[in-house]
């Protein structure tokens, strides 16, 4: 056979099928060792559980806020009712006090009416009647907590006295009350009005 024919015979030989078979570690590696796509469903479960917990906590917080708002509204309503009750009680107490004070003065008004009814009688009797009414009025003020104050010779006290004048050339010590122009009523803690006085001063 010629070289040309031998070369053609080599080219016509079918390819060796064994060259495409895997060899070594490649042949021994199982098919399951090949990388697979991640399981999306299994990885999403922890995130879903956290989301459920967050929703549950948010719902609990909303319920708590709603309860606190309800308590606040109830407290405001109770406070408003208490304020109204106190206003009614204060108004009633003021009215009762006014009625009690007015009732104390009714005898004075009655005695003044009697004095006027006897105005044509003996003048001395009228004077005595007016003096009795005045004493009765002073007694009522004292019972109400405002005793009459008209002391002379005491030290001037700005809390109890109102100086309307000062006078020198007297035997009184400077800074003492030498005359009461208008009497005061009450004491230091419960004073209706101060006494108007004239105060001595040094020469």
Distance, CA of 71 to CA of 81 (rounded, Å): 15
* Global pTM exceeds 0.75: no
Q: What is the pLDDT of residue 6?
A: 44
Where helices occur in the chain by DSSP H, the ranges are 3-12, 25-28, 40-117, 123-143
Bridge partners of 162, per DSSP, are 196
Are the C-beta atoms of residues 197 and 163 closer than 8 Å to each other? yes
- Which CATH superfamily does the domain covering 53-144 fall into? GrpE nucleotide exchange factor, coiled-coil domain (3.90.20.20)
Structure confidence at residue 46 as a pLDDT band (50, 70, 90): low
Q: Which helix (H) or strand (E) holds 30?
A: none
The residue ranges of every structural domain in the chain are 53-144, 147-203
Query: In the β-sheet with 184-186, what is the strand arrangement from edge to edge?
Result: 148-149, 184-186, 191-193
Distance, CA of 19 to CA of 160 (rounded, Å): 130
Mean pLDDT value across the chain: 81
Q: What's phi and psi for 146, nearest 5 deg?
A: -130, 75
DSSP code of residue 192 = E
Of 36-40, 57-61, 141-145, the least confident = 36-40
Average pLDDT over residues 48-64: 86
Q: What is the pLDDT of residue 28?
A: 45
Q: CATH assignment of 147-203?
A: 2.30.22.10
Average pLDDT over residues 59-80: 93
Structure confidence at residue 49 as a pLDDT band (50, 70, 90): confident
Structure confidence at residue 178 as a pLDDT band (50, 70, 90): very high
At a CB cut-off of 8 Å and minimum separation 6, what does 175 contact?
Answer: 155, 156, 199, 200, 201
Can you tell me whether residue 203 is helix, strand or coil? coil
Structure confidence at residue 171 as a pLDDT band (50, 70, 90): confident
Distances (CA, A) of 186 to 102, 147, 178: 19, 5, 20
| 2-27: pLDDT as tens digits | 444 444 444 455 444 444 455 544 44
Are the C-beta atoms of residues 172 and 153 closer than 8 Å to each other? yes
| 99-134: pLDDT as tens digits | 988 899 999 989 888 887 877 777 788 888 888 999
Distances (CA, A) of 18 to 14, 92, 203: 12, 118, 148
Are the C-beta atoms of residues 201 and 173 closer than 8 Å to each other? no
Can you tell me whether residue 15 is helix, strand or coil? coil
Distances (CA, A) of 102 to 109, 114, 116, 121, 165: 10, 19, 21, 29, 35
């Amino acid at each position: 056979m010629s070289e040309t024919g031998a070369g053609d015979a080599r080219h016509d030989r079918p390819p060796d099928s064994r060259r495409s078979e895997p060899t070594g570690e490649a042949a021994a590696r199982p098919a399951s060792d090949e990388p697979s796509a991640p399981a999306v469903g299994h990885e999403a479960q922890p995130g879903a559980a956290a989301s459920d917990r967050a929703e549950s906590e948010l719902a609990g917080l909303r319920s708590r806020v709603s309860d606190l708002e309800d308590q606040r509204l109830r407290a405001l309503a109770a406070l408003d009712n208490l304020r109204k009750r106190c206003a009614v009680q204060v108004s009633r107490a003021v009215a009762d006090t006014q009625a009690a004070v007015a009732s104390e003065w009714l005898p004075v008004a009655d005695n003044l009416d009697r004095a006027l009814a006897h105005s044509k009688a003996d003048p001395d009797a009228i004077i005595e009647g007016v003096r009795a009414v005045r004493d009765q009025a002073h007694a009522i003020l004292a019972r109400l907590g405002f005793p009459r104050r008209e002391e002379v010779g005491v030290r001037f006290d700005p809390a109890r006295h109102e100086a309307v004048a000062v006078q020198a050339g007297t035997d009184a010590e400077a800074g003492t009350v030498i005359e009461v122009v208008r009497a005061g009523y009450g004491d230091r803690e419960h004073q209706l009005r101060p006494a108007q006085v004239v105060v001595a001063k040094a020469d």
